[in-house]
Amino acid sequence: MFPFCTDPDTLDTVRWFACYLTTGKHMSFYLSFGTVLLLLAITAPTALAFGFAGAAAARSRFLPLSLFGKGYIAIVRGVPDIAFFLFFVIALDQIFEWTRHQVLCPDWDQPIRQGNDFIVCQAAKLPLNTAPQWMHETYGFFLAVLTFALVFGAFAANVLFGAMRAVPRAQMETAEAYGMTRRQAFWRVLVPQMWIYAIPGLSNLWMVLIKATPLLFLLGVEDIVYWARELGSSKTPRFTDYPHGDWRMWYFLALLVFYLAFTRVSEIALERLTVRLSHGQATAQGEAQRRAGA
C-alpha cells in the first residue's frame, strides 16, 4: 500500500503496522464488513416479505393455504437453524442444478444419483466451472440470503401472525359494517395497526439476525469471522512477510466492538420507529402521546 513497505524487516513499529494493516488480506477483511451489512440489508426485507406471506396464509380461510402457512411456521421454527444452514443449502443447490439438467440436457441417459454422488451435465452446473470467481461468490451469497430469509421468515411469520390477531376484532367488524370487503379491511385497517404489536418481536428477531451473520462462514462466504480467524492466527516468516503470534483475541475484540455498536444503533432506530408507529394507536404509549399533546 505504501512505498516504504518493500522490505518489512527494516520498518519500525508504526510503519510495520501501517503496512501490515493495509495488505490485500486485510482489505478483504475490511470489505467483509460490507458483506455482512449487505446481507442484512437484503435479508431483512426479504425475510419480512416471507413472514408477511406466511402470516397471511396462516390466517386464511382457505384450509390448504392456512395449513401451508402454519406448516411453514411450525417446521422451520422446530428445526435447529444449524441444520438448515448445513443441509438446506446443499439441497437447494441440487434442486437448481436438477431443474437446469432437465431443461438443458434432455438426452442424458445416466442416473443423476450415483451412490452418494450427485452428477449432472456440465451445462447444468451452477455456476459453470468456467465462470469467473465473482460469479461463484455471488451465487454463494445468493444461497446464503435465501437460506437466511426462509429461516428468519418463519419466525417473522409467527410474530406477524400474533400481531394480526392482537388487532381488536371489533375494528374489522366495523370496517366491514361500513361496506369494506374483507380484503379492503385487511389492507386498510388490520395491516396498518398490526405493526405496533409486531415491533417488539421483530426487534428481537433483528437482533438475532445480526448475531447469526457469522453463520455465513458455514455457507462458504468469507465473512468477518472467517478473516478474523485467518488473520489473527499465528504466522511464521516462512509463510508471510508480516509474522506474528496468536492475535485472534484482538481481531475478535474488534468484532465485539462492531457488533455492540451496530446493535446499539439498531436499538435507537427501533425505539424511534416504535414512537412513530404509536401515534394514534390504542396502546399505552399511544395514550401517553395523546395526553402529552393535550
Report d(CA 266, CA 260) in Å as an integer: 10
CA angle 207, 151, 68 (to 5 degrees): 130
Report d(CA 127, CA 215) in Å as an integer: 22
**Which CA distances in Å does 131 have to 61, 119, 146?**
47, 19, 21
* Model confidence, pTM: 0.81
Assigned CATH for 40-293: 1.10.3720.10
Q: Could you list the mean pLDDT of each consecutive 10-residue stretch along the chain, which spans 294 residues?
A: 76 84 88 91 94 93 92 88 77 85 84 80 78 79 87 93 89 86 88 90 92 79 86 81 87 93 93 80 54 56
Grid cell in block for residue 156 = 417473522
Coil, helix or strand for 163?
A: helix
What's the confidence (pLDDT) of residue 48? 94
Q: Where are the domains of the chain?
A: 40-293
Report d(CA 120, CA 127) in Å as an integer: 12
Residue with cell 419480512: 48
Give the count of alpha carbons within 13 A of 173, CB side only.
Answer: 3
Grid cell in block for residue 232 = 489473527
CB 216 within 8 A of CB 35: yes
pLDDT in tens, 148-159: 899 999 999 999
Report d(CA 79, CA 121) in Å as an integer: 33
